[in-house]
Chains A and B, each alone.
Chain A
Amino acid sequence: MAAIRPIDYGTPERTAEASVSLEIDGQAVTVPEGTSVMRAAMTAGVDIPRLCATDSLEPFGSCRLCLVEIEGRRGYPASCTTPVEDGMVVRTAGDTVRRLRRNVVELYLTDHPGTSVTGEGHGDDELLAMAARLGVEASRYPSARNHQTAAVDDSNPYFRFDPSRCIVCSRCVRACNEIQGTFALTVDGHGFASMISAGTGEDDFLSSECVSCGACVQACPTEALEEKTVIEAGAPERAVVTTCAYCGVGCSFQAELRGDRIVRMVPYRHGQANHGHSCVKGRFAWGYTNHPDRITRPMIRERITDAWREVSWDEAIGFAAERLNGLRERHGPGVLGAITSSRCTNEETFLVQKLARAVFGTNNVDTCARVCHSPTGYGLKNTFGTSAGTQDFDSVQSADVVLVIGANPTDAHPVFASQLKRRLRAGARLIVVDPRAIDLVRSPHVAADYHLQLRPGTNVALVNALAHTVIAEGLEDAGFIRTRCETDEYAAWREFILRPENAPEAVEAVTGVPAATLRAAARLYATGGNAAIYYGLGVTEHSQGSTMVMGMANLAMATGNIGREGVGVNPLRGQNNVQGSCDMGSFPHELPGYRHIADEGVRGIFEREWGVTLDTEPGMRIPNMIDAATGGAFKGLYIQGEDILQSDPNVRHIAAGLEGMECVIIQDLFLNETARYAHVFLPGSTFLEKDGTFTNAERRINRVRKISEAPAGMADWEITQALAQALGYPMHYRHPGEIMDEIARTTPTFAGVSFEKIDELGSIQWPCNEAHPEGTRVMHVGEFVRGLGRFLLTPYVATDERANRRFPLLLTTGRILSQYNVGTQTRRTDNRVWHDEDILEIHPEDAETRGIREGMRVRLASRIGETTLHAHISPRMMPGVVYTTFHFPETATNVVTTEFSDWATECPEYKVTAVEVAPSHTLSEWQYSQAQARERQQRVTHEESTTEEVTARERA
């Protein structure tokens, strides 16, 4: 269990080679040079009173509570802003400073309500705690002018700002600036009128540019900024450390409880991915876990047109097993398959692929990485030797040049974005490659040196031109190439990349990026010091996604930017455990640890462990399963925690495939879109309701800890195990830790991993084995995983999805800060305040020529289908390109996207769809039909009707 209030050293830790020795209250203390007197005192166990200081923020020196006496110095310096010096003699608790501190507290109390918002004790109010500690029971000063009747800002759905409690210490302002990097808060006014303000004077917190990360609330020492859940439920009594279930940053959180009720999620200060920071989703958007839409009983139905029938676990599992067994007996194991969930734990994902391979008897297993980072797997494995990012997040603090390609970290990976922005504010240079002017291009105190605003679908042409410039201008790292890479492959690549068609001037017409700008960016990347690449789905979700990943790997190798701190090629993974689900053998051609199914030796390891003979051939990917189902050759699918009807491209085709199956089993929290085609619904568990591990984008394995029981009574791993048993396979784990032990026994990169070791170290980055017993922060140091790095050719092949007169615009899709993936979780939270529908962003010129005004409903049509949504006119777009998100089933953005996909992995080309946009007054036909279907499913479910009752009612 974690401490609700961990030790706060008052000012940040300093690292320096030189150390300084001093005396504090008679104790000898030695600390690194640059350490504050306050922190030095705390390391010696002397806790100097303070209010404006906290060790997550730089010292500010405003509250005057931390005054000390220093021999030989005049006055009473603030210990937070005074650095230690050799031989210094400090007294922290003399009569004078104690009197001064009590006086300061009394003055603060003249303009403070005097009680905690929780109604008991001090709650989170450090002023009240400090008053008690200093023996101040009441203020001697009359309460004259004050802020006790100032209006409370209640606009934010998750926290409130009460000016009557504010002491204007600026901790919130500094947290917004230093930690989050949004600069949304300020101290407005002077003297008595000084007050914390979000945005401009006209704004409240909701209308300001505040991103609700919660850093200000966490920093506030007086409950002026406080979580509404704490005000409502009372102060937390205990805390459990666990891992966020949103994006691939994998933030550690303290789930803080009062009794058995969670009252808030607080980013864990010792979290090795997030270092005490969070975003609006992880910090606040956890209300979905007890949303009334949660399905809490298993359900079955004979046909997908029937009503659902709530049944016992035994009946549901038995029904599913009988259907699966029947299909296997009649048609063979090849008609069955499974989809693992990147939202579930490593242990649960491992079990689903084991279920498919060892119990179903097929390698037909896939995961959502099929539609996001499967090209990362292909590209990095073939060039470097393994399918993972090369660095940890902290490595960015050593980067001198950051190249962000096809990623929007401030929206999709906000906590990493804050760390990145800290480095940029400290002077690192930035190159952004994106069709949109994402926030990083220009935001407070951050500006990209180069924004290469390329046309969608031309990534490979661009990365080739960057590499061409490096080689043609002699900027390569010849020593690195000679000693670390395959010579013959480099020679072939060098000849290829120097061809005239790869020159910036030649590709300018294709990419739309001026050659001079591209050359300048290439020079900066190659010569600016440590250069690091961070990329997202704007790289992978293309017909040449894998080629682009290889192109970035080539660029990093050519410039020697791999294998040390501050460099590397780093995928920003979308879902909390998409790295883990890939590691765990979720792909149809690979066993856990990215080892091909055809490898007899590897197969033997699992055959001996599982007591079965495994199929030697690669299984079907998700699109293969859907294609086969439409032709009747695929009949049974077990889907854990994915909603392919909303997330995958060409929704009509997905629906046709699902409809063609005879047994679809959905294991989820809610009746998602895909569940409309299901025969069995198995109610799953949230991240708060089970034990296990998630692996984030930096290969970091973090513990997920059970805090409460799943409403339906079973964790997801237990459901999979029950299904395996019903199918006749002996699967008897007592705890997820035993599953991890099996993973470690069978998978060399996890050989040293166990729950006990994770608990001991906090987290572990794989590979973790005999050679790296505590894990691996930076990969490919000294040599690549595959030995020598391999340059691979990257020919630019234009996508077949082309704009034309009928569909003249290119649609690209992505995410927004407040919503997550298909919105299953975030749509069921107050995050809807910021974004309650998908919006189409369109350039002013494109809008004007089409008669589209701000907020107008528009029809978005492609060769595949059409939908409608509201338009937002935005200069962030380049002319000819429109953008939207895919968070809302009411929009069903993927009705429009095509089945064109990456050549190597079949990752869909979400980022390039030729479309036309026009004003519209009505929903599309598809939207109407789906709304009716959705309503029907929900109505029937809540009525708990039997099949016969619904049929009779429909006949009537």
Chain B
Amino acid sequence: MDDAKMVHQANQIAAYFEAYPQARAREGVLDHLHKFWPPDKRARLAAYLAGNGGGLHPLAAWAAAQLEAPAGQD
């Protein structure tokens, strides 16, 4: 999968949850990635954020950061 397609999909998820208040929106995006994206794809998103990271919706970027970060850290 190319990065552009992955970023587009992550941003689509973020665009949906953006309708909710920020805390719920963040949780919604992160929960969705955990429930439906396979681990390799999540890892790619996290790696993308750690690298260039450009073009990610703020909610998607936040969620990608959680994927990368150890549990319990924000």
Contact = CB atoms under 8 A, between A and B. Distances in A.
Interface of A: 334, 363-364, 492, 496, 543, 547, 588-589, 596, 598, 617-620, 624, 627-628, 631, 633, 793-795, 797, 800, 899, 901, 903-906
A903 B16 contact: yes
A795 B36 contact: no
A633 B38 contact: no
16 contacts: A363-B38, A364-B38, A588-B38, A598-B34, A617-B38, A618-B37, A620-B38, A624-B1, A624-B38, A793-B20, A794-B19, A800-B8, A903-B9, A904-B13, A904-B16, A904-B36
Nearest to A899: B5
A618 B38 contact: yes
Contact of B40 (A547, A588, A633, A899): A633
A496 B19 contact: yes
Contacts of A631: 1
A628 B5 contact: no
A627 B5 contact: yes
Nearest to B8: A800
Interface residues of B, number: 20
B5 to A, nearest CB: 7
Contact of A903 (B1, B12, B20): B12
B5 A619 contact: no
B42 to A, nearest CB: 9
Interface string B19-43: 1100000000000101111111100
Nearest to A550: B16
A628 B36 contact: no
B18 interface: yes
B15 interface: yes
Given A624-B41, A795-B15, A906-B9, 15 more contacts: A334-B40, A492-B20, A543-B12, A547-B16, A588-B38, A598-B34, A620-B38, A620-B41, A624-B1, A627-B1, A793-B20, A797-B12, A800-B8, A899-B5, A904-B36
Nearest to B6: A627
Nearest to B16: A903
B35 A589 contact: yes
B36 A903 contact: no
Contacts of A800: 8
Contacts of B9: 901, 903, 906
A942 B35 CA distance: 47
B19 A793 contact: yes
Contacts of B35: 589, 596, 598, 618
B71 to A, nearest CB: 14
Contacts, number: 56
Contacts of A334: 40
B9 to A, nearest CB: 7
B40 A628 contact: yes
A904 B38 contact: no
Contacts of B19: 496, 793-795
Contacts of A364: 38
A492 B19 CA distance: 10
A795 B16 CA distance: 7
Nearest to A633: B40
A903 B13 CA distance: 5
Given A627-B1, A800-B8, A617 B39 contact: yes
Nearest to B5: A899
A363 B34 CA distance: 14
A905 B9 CA distance: 10
A333 to B, nearest CB: 12
Nearest to B25: A793
Nearest to A906: B9
Contacts of B34: 598
A562 to B, nearest CB: 23
A797 B16 contact: yes
A755 B38 CA distance: 36
Identify the interface centre among A543, A793, A903: most chain B CB within 10 Å of its CB: A903
The 6 A-B residue pairs with the shortest CB-CB distance in the complex, in nearest-first order = A627-B1, A903-B12, A795-B19, A793-B19, A797-B15, A617-B39
A904 B16 CA distance: 9
A287 B12 CA distance: 45
Identify the interface centre among B18, B36, B40: most chain A CB within 10 Å of its CB: B36
B28 to A, nearest CB: 10
Nearest to A634: B40
B36 to A, nearest CB: 6
A813 B12 CA distance: 23
A334 B43 CA distance: 14
Nearest to B11: A903
A13 to B, nearest CB: 48
A905 B32 CA distance: 10
Nearest to A588: B38
Nearest to B21: A492
A633 to B, nearest CB: 7
Identify the interface centre among A547, A598, A618, A795: most chain B CB within 10 Å of its CB: A618
Nearest to B12: A903
Nearest to B1: A627
A584 to B, nearest CB: 19
Contacts of B8: 800
Contacts of A363: 38
Contacts of B12: 543, 797, 903
Nearest to B14: A903
Interface string B28-65: 00001011111111000000000000000000000000
B32 to A, nearest CB: 7
Nearest to A902: B12
B1 to A, nearest CB: 4
Given A624-B1, A795-B15, A797-B15, A618 B36 contact: yes
A901 B37 CA distance: 14
A492 B24 CA distance: 12
A112 to B, nearest CB: 66
A795 B18 contact: yes
A904 B15 contact: no
A215 B59 CA distance: 57
Contacts of A795: 15-16, 18-19
Contacts of B38: 363-364, 588, 617-620, 624
A628 B15 contact: no
A589 B36 contact: yes
B16 A628 contact: no
A574 to B, nearest CB: 22
Contacts of A901: 9
Contacts of A905: 36
A543 B8 CA distance: 11
Nearest to A543: B12
Nearest to A597: B35
A866 to B, nearest CB: 21
A337 to B, nearest CB: 10
Contacts of A619: 38
B12 to A, nearest CB: 4
Nearest to B13: A903
B19 to A, nearest CB: 4
A495 to B, nearest CB: 11
Nearest to B10: A903
B5 A903 contact: no
Contacts of B18: 795
A259 to B, nearest CB: 52
B40 to A, nearest CB: 7
Contacts of A620: 38, 40-41
A899 B8 CA distance: 11
A364 B16 CA distance: 26
Given A793-B20, A906-B9, A628 B37 contact: no
